[in-house]
Amino acid sequence: MDSGHVDEQLFAVDVRPVEAVDRPISGGWNKSFRHYDQHQQFLIPPSIDDWLPEEHLARFVSDLVEEALDLEPFLASYTEAKGFPPYDPRMMLKLIIYGYSTGVRSSRAIEKACWEDVPFRWLSANQTPDFRSIARFRRRHLVALRELFRTSLVLCERAGMVRLGRVALDGTKVRANASRRKAMSYRYLSDKEQVLAAEVDDLLHDAEVTDAREDKTLGKDRGYADLPDALATKEKRLAAIRRAKDDLEARAADDAADNARKKATDQGLDEAEIERRADEAASSATVKDNAQANFTDPDARIMKTADGSFHYCYNAQAVVDDAHQVIVATKLTASATDSRALPEMLDEVLANTGVAPRELLADAGYFSEENVTAATSRHIDPYLATGRLRHGEVVPSASPGRIPQNLSPKERMARKLRTKRGKAAYARRKAIVEPVFGQIDTCHGGKRVLLRGHAAAAAEWELIAAVHNLRKLFGYVGTAIPAPS
């Protein structure tokens, strides 16, 4: 017999690849483990629907888009028949709403989740839209996405979650998507404008000399028509700097006019005199040298945040219902002050719900005689703090007896908050509105916006407020979409 053949019989080995060999392991005391094989094939095609629990938030989002949303504004924007078919708007809406509901906001993160997360894969039906398509869809349908907030409020009203007996108003600073490195002060802008203007003049002179020389050698209407690259670049930078300066000057004029109006109103002057003083203040307004202009988001403003630092931010206002912490009105502004927002926010509540709340709670940042009048004229009982309390300070009780007639509106409000009823009402303010901002910060990706420019940032904030309401609705009714009564 051939010796090679004998060796093959005596020393036969398994020639399968190492990763394909089933090598069960055991622990101490002969402990066995469940079978584990990453290369095991499914005997029948799996259904991803079986991997998602029946009461999952993703199923609620899917039913919301299919049953409750008006898709016509999204579909109406597709007017071109030619071109490669776009992704189904229903799928894109589901991905964006679910992403914002779970804190996955960026288009790249949503694309990644469509590969890795079961809920996203279920919503996308195993499609993987690229991040550019997701970002374009979000920006293209910003106006339609803003209506999602009203839809969320209507659904919460149908579920009985909005009562408007007592509401609380507060503001919070929302980080803008603006780089602090791409900002310049007014003084630096003015100096840079002079330098760039001189450089542009020199380049224009050189270009004119070159044109004249080429006209002699090549004839007219010959040669290169494009501007030199250096000249084109510097002209663009100069135009951007001048736009930033104009914006700062307009902002200073508006602020001066607003301050003049407030002072004239406090003095009891008539409307014509108030406007005359406002125009005079605006025409004589000057810009501070340290006023900042940002080139990534010119609409954002430097604001002081809760941690004491300063960042480019917007100021988000929200009116929250006491029953289930549903946001009934919201708005994103570029003003750091809160007091001027109160009348407009009350009008938003009336426009969104058709009903005025019975009581309004707000902190000292909203107190003014005008705001008290704005609330009472709308048949709303206001509880507005007149000052800030130190930590641990206890508000003294109001003296019994009739209210003195000579009290100012501020003194009357302070006395009202010292009554037993006033203390009990105002004590609810923090428990109503402040947890909402905390939940947005924790569950929905932070108090920040990704889109730049006030209009786009405001639309994104309303989307964030909408998904907050929808999460509240999901926690209250489960996956069932409330039907009209």
State the pLDDT confidence band at 224, using cuts at 50, 70 and 90. very low
Q: Considering the domain delimited by 162-178+300-477, tell me its CATH architecture.
A: 2-Layer Sandwich (3.30)
Instruction: State mean pLDDT over 210-236.
Output: 60
CA distance 448 to 298: 16
- Residue range 394-411, pLDDT digits in tens: 555 555 656 667 778 888
The distance of Cα 387 from the centroid of its chain, to the nearest Å, equals 30
Instruction: State mean pLDDT over 186-194.
Output: 65
Determine contact, residues 174/300, Cβ cutoff 8 Å: no
Four-residue CA torsion sign, 108, 136, 330, 165: negative
Percent of the chain with pLDDT over 90: 45
Instruction: State mean pLDDT over 318-345.
Output: 93
Biggest CA–CA distance in the chain, Å, is 126
Q: What is the pLDDT of residue 43?
A: 78
Question: Is 445 a residue whose pLDDT tops 80?
Answer: yes
Size of the chain in residues = 485
- Residue range 140-185, pLDDT digits in tens: 999 999 999 999 999 999 999 999 999 999 999 999 998 776 666 6
Rg (CA), the chain: 32
CA distance 365 to 384: 9
> 356 vs 248, 303, 350, 403, 465, CA distance in Å?
38, 32, 6, 27, 20
Question: Is 188 a residue whose pLDDT tops 70?
Answer: no
Place of tokens 């029953």: 323
Percent of the chain with pLDDT over 70: 77
Which of these ranges, 48-62, 144-158, 204-218, 268-282, has the smallest mean pLDDT? 204-218
Higher pLDDT, 84 or 344: 344
Q: Are strands 166-175 and 359-362 parallel, antiparallel or unpaired?
A: parallel
What is the per-residue DSSP string for 460-482?
HHHHHHHHHHHHHHHHHHTTPPP
Q: What is the pLDDT of residue 258?
A: 77
What is the per-residue DSSP string for 77-134?
T----SSSPPPPHHHHHHHHHHHHHTT--SHHHHHHHHHH-HHHHHHTTT----HHHH
H or E segment to which residue 296 belongs:
none
- Residue range 347-396, pLDDT digits in tens: 999 999 999 999 999 998 898 889 999 999 999 999 999 876 555 555 55
Determine contact, residues 310/304, Cβ cutoff 8 Å: yes
Determine contact, residues 381/356, Cβ cutoff 8 Å: no
Instruction: State mean pLDDT over 26-51.
Output: 78
CA distance 364 to 125: 50
Tokens of 25: 């392991």
Model confidence pTM above 0.85: no
Instruction: State mean pLDDT over 254-281.
Output: 79
- Residue range 286-307, pLDDT digits in tens: 877 776 766 778 888 888 888 8
Instruction: State mean pLDDT over 300-327.
Output: 91
Tokens of 266: 């406090």
75-83: long-range contacts (C-beta < 8 A, 24 or more apart)?
A: 77/140, 77/141, 77/144
Determine contact, residues 364/388, Cβ cutoff 8 Å: yes
